[in-house]
């Protein structure tokens, strides 16, 4: 599991550790890790040209001390001080003592072989200030190494409210920060490199599954298993207008680990023609017999209202997607109040906007606003609906009403294709039916869906939604 801690958690842990260590120890640990990473990125440290962009805080201090270490190994190091009268005194003195120089020449940004971004770290708030903002737009050939966080990225949320540096490598200290894992911030970090500084940390505020976590979550039938014990997932999807959504959701469900897939809706003929192993039932969820989890809404069109009502009345986990979400937004969070079994909502940002409007009574916010604030949006929805929320998009974020958040690390932008979300809904529903709690079902489904998308699109070509479902067994097998 990859763990990310909030700024507040990091500050508390740092304070506790600093109280036990001689002054400056942590900063030296950070600077040593930073300099070591820079040295690996340079073809030769001796004779290379390094620029340190240093802000007024400890982030600038880390960068200046790292610059001093590189200067002692023979680099020509310049420091560009964004607040010259407030630069970290110890760091600056060390750099000068090591033979580094201060420059005011912004063209050094393009000339240097390597740039260290020490403008702001976890103390940064709002977009970059005017004196630093131009560096975000300047082109460079060689690497930019961000110190702790690419400056301009909100470390807690991944929001990028203004200009922000783009790094090739981000060296973060002690723990990952949520903003490094969530777009748009994540797209500024480049490769992430964690340097331990000895912090004792509380449970992370945000986590991200890795391969070994996925392996532990996926259901595997035991010797005594039968199809019912493995779980039956019910799919209420499709309509005369959108029969394909039913086929795609069933395709995802068949490869998600449930023992059987039961389809209800008007697209039974299309579903069975494509997937003869599907059980089909006339009518809606209420008359369908026992299932362990329902998926409601993909392509349901006008049928969403009835299907949603019937599924929510069943005391089993329910995943609501697509037209089901539009209907739920109309009803508002009250529609879930009586439920004792968990509910999983899987909106894209457009559906999230409608759900928020349904909870607040306000007009729906622009979807782009929600895409720029994924963590906050997923958390708000989870709290308002008291449901697990999987917010889809460039970074899929899953928020649980308990406050736990998972960020999905897999995926590719080739997944942005019609019907791709239908496959995901069936897959996640199948994992719910197999008995995974909603947070695990949602994060395992997003992970597998992302891997399947990568496999299907390898080495980089367009894919159709059914290709994602077809690649799911490969994703289970190879997991990377």
Ligand X SMILES: NC(=O)C1=CN([C@@H]2O[C@H](COP(=O)(O)OP(=O)(O)OC[C@H]3O[C@@H](n4cnc5c(N)ncnc54)[C@H](O)[C@@H]3O)[C@@H](O)[C@H]2O)[C@@H](O)CC1
- The contact set with ligand X (CB under 6 A) reads 14, 18, 26-27, 30, 55-60, 62, 119-126, 128-129, 132, 147-148, 173, 197
Please check if 107 is assigned to a binding site: no
Ramachandran region, residue 42 (left: φ > 0; alpha: ψ -120 to 50; beta: rest): beta
CB neighbour class for 102 (10 Å; exposed up to 12, middle 13-18, buried from 19): middle
Answer yes or no whether residue 416 interacts with ligand ADP by CB under 6 A: yes
For the record, the structure tokens of 154 come out as 């909100």
Residues 198-217 interacting with K ion (rule: CB under 5 A): none
Name which of ligand X, K ion, ligand ADP, none residue 128 binds, using a CB cut-off of 5 to 8 Å depending on partner kind: ligand X
Answer yes or no whether residue 323 interacts with ligand ADP by CB under 6 A: no
Name which of ligand X, K ion, ligand ADP, none residue 30 binds, using a CB cut-off of 5 to 8 Å depending on partner kind: ligand X
Distances in Å between the Cα of 354 and the Cα atoms of 151, 337, 357, 360, 383 are 33, 19, 5, 10, 15
Answer yes or no whether residue 266 interacts with K ion by CB under 5 A: no
**How far apart are alpha carbons 215 and 476 in whole angstroms?**
8
What's the angle, vertex CA 450, arms to CA 312 and CA 297, rounded to 5? Answer: 25
Answer yes or no whether residue 420 interacts with ligand ADP by CB under 6 A: yes
Q: Which stretch binds ligand ADP (CB under 6 A): 84-92, 126-134, 158-166, 386-394?
A: 386-394
> Of the two residues 43 and 130, which places its CB atom closer to ligand X in the complex?
130
Least distance from ligand X to the Cβ atom of residue 150, Å: 11
Contacts with 423 (C-beta within 8 Å, 6 or more apart), sequence order = 248, 249, 251, 252, 449, 465, 466, 468, 469
**How far apart are alpha carbons 115 and 362 in whole angstroms?**
46
Residue 210: Cβ within 10 Å count: 14
Return the residue of 393, 401, 426, 429 that touches ligand ADP, per CB under 6 A: 393
> Which residue in 2, 404, 3, 19 sits closest to 201, CA to CA?
3
DSSP of 356-398, one letter per residue? HHHHHSSPPPPHHHHHTTHHHHHHHHHHHHTSEEEE-SSS-EE
Least distance from K ion to the Cβ atom of residue 60, Å: 9
> Of the two residues 311 and 398, which places its CB atom closer to ligand ADP in the complex?
398
> Of the two residues 120 and 353, which places its CB atom closer to K ion in the complex?
120
Answer yes or no whether residue 348 interacts with ligand ADP by CB under 6 A: yes
Whether the Cβ atoms of residue 120 and residue 149 lie closer than 8 Å to each other: yes
Residues 121-160 interacting with K ion (rule: CB under 5 A): 121, 146-147, 151
Q: Pseudo-torsion of CA 427, 433, 435, 440, nearest 10°?
A: 30
> Of the two residues 255 and 392, which places its CB atom closer to ligand ADP in the complex?
392
Least distance from ligand ADP to the Cβ atom of residue 84, Å: 41
> Of the two residues 59 and 377, which places its CB atom closer to ligand X in the complex?
59
Contacts with 292 (C-beta within 8 Å, 6 or more apart), sequence order = 231, 232, 233, 258, 316, 317, 432, 433, 434, 435
Name which of ligand X, ligand ADP, K ion, none residue 62 binds, using a CB cut-off of 5 to 8 Å depending on partner kind: ligand X
Name which of K ion, ligand X, ligand ADP, none residue 117 binds, using a CB cut-off of 5 to 8 Å depending on partner kind: K ion
**How far apart are alpha carbons 178 and 167 in whole angstroms?**
16
Return the residue of 134, 413, 473, 480 that touches ligand ADP, per CB under 6 A: 413
Whether the Cβ atoms of residue 266 and residue 299 lie closer than 8 Å to each other: no
Least distance from K ion to the Cβ atom of residue 183, Å: 18
Least distance from K ion to the Cβ atom of residue 64, Å: 12
Return the residue of 244, 303, 411, 426 that touches ligand ADP, per CB under 6 A: 411
Give, for 176, the enclosing helix (H) or strand (E): none
Return the residue of 58, 94, 117, 154 that touches K ion, per CB under 5 A: 117
> Of the two residues 146 and 371, which places its CB atom closer to K ion in the complex?
146
User: Which DSSP category does 21 fall into?
Assistant: S
> Of the two residues 51 and 322, which places its CB atom closer to ligand ADP in the complex?
322
> Of the two residues 19 and 104, which places its CB atom closer to ligand X in the complex?
19
What's the angle, vertex CA 74, arms to CA 72 and CA 75, rounded to 5? Answer: 100
DSSP of 185-215, one letter per residue? GGGGS-EEEEE-------S-SEEE--HHHHH
Q: Pseudo-torsion of CA 412, 414, 419, 424, nearest 10°?
A: -10
Name which of ligand X, K ion, ligand ADP, none residue 310 binds, using a CB cut-off of 5 to 8 Å depending on partner kind: none
Please check if 123 is assigned to a binding site: yes
Whether the Cβ atoms of residue 384 and residue 376 lie closer than 8 Å to each other: no
Binding residues for AMP are 392-396, 421
Binding residues for (6S)-NADPHX are 58-62, 121-127, 148, 245, 299, 348, 422
Q: Which residues bind ligand ADP (CB under 6 A)?
A: 322, 348, 392-394, 396, 411-413, 415-416, 418-422, 424, 449
Binding residues are 58-62, 117, 121-127, 148, 151, 245, 299, 348, 392-396, 421-422
């Amino acid at each position: 599991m990859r763990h990310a801690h909030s700024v507040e958690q990091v500050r508390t842990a740092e304070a506790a550790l600093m109280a036990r260590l001689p002054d400056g120890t942590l900063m030296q640990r950070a600077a040593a890790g930073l300099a070591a990473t820079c040295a690996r990125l340079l073809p030769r440290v001796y004779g290379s040209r390094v620029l340190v962009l240093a802000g007024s805080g400890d982030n600038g201090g880390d960068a200046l001390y790292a610059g001093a270490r590189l200067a002692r190994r023979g680099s020509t190091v310049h420091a560009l001080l964004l607040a010259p009268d407030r630069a970290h005194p110890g760091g600056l003195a060390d750099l000068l003592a090591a033979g580094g120089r201060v420059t005011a020449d912004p063209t050094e940004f393009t000339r240097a072989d390597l740039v260290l971004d020490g403008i702001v770290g976890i103390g940064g708030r709002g977009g970059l200030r005017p004196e630093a903002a131009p560096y975000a737009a300047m082109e460079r050939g060689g690497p930019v190494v961000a110190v702790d966080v690419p400056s301009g990225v909100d470390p807690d949320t991944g929001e990028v409210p203004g200009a922000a540096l783009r790094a090739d490598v981000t060296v973060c200290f002690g723990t990952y920060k949520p903003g490094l894992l969530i777009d748009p911030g994540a797209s500024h970090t480049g490769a992430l490199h964690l340097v331990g500084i000895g912090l004792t940390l509380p449970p992370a505020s945000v986590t991200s599954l890795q391969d070994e976590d996925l392996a532990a979550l996926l259901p595997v039938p035991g010797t005594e298993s039968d199809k019912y014990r493995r779980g039956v997932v019910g799919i209420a999807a499709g309509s005369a207008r959108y029969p394909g959504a039913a086929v795609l959701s069933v395709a995802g469900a068949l490869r998600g680990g449930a023992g059987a897939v039961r389809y209800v809706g008007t697209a039974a003929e299309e579903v069975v023609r494509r997937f003869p192993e599907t059980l089909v039932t006339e009518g809606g969820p209420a008359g369908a017999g026992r299932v362990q989890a329902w998926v409601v809404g993909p392509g349901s069109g006008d049928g969403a209202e009835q299907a949603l009502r019937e599924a929510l009345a069943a005391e089993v986990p329910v995943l609501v997607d697509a037209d089901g979400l539009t209907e739920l937004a109309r009803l508002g969070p009250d529609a879930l109040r009586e439920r004792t079994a968990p509910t999983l909502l899987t909106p894209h940002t457009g559906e999230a906007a409608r759900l928020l409007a349904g909870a607040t009574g306000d007009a729906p916010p622009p979807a782009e606003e929600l895409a720029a604030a994924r963590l906050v949006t997923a958390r708000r929805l989870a709290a308002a609906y008291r449901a697990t929320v999987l917010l889809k998009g460039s970074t899929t974020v899953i928020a649980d009403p308990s406050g736990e958040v998972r960020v999905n690390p897999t995926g590719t932008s080739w997944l942005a294709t019609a019907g791709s979300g239908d496959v995901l809904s069936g897959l996640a529903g199948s994992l719910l039916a197999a008995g995974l709690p909603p947070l695990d079902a949602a994060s395992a489904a997003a992970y597998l869906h992302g891997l399947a998308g990568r496999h299907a699109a390898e080495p980089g070509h367009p894919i159709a939604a059914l290709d994602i479902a077809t690649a799911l067994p490969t994703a289970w097998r190879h997991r990377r």
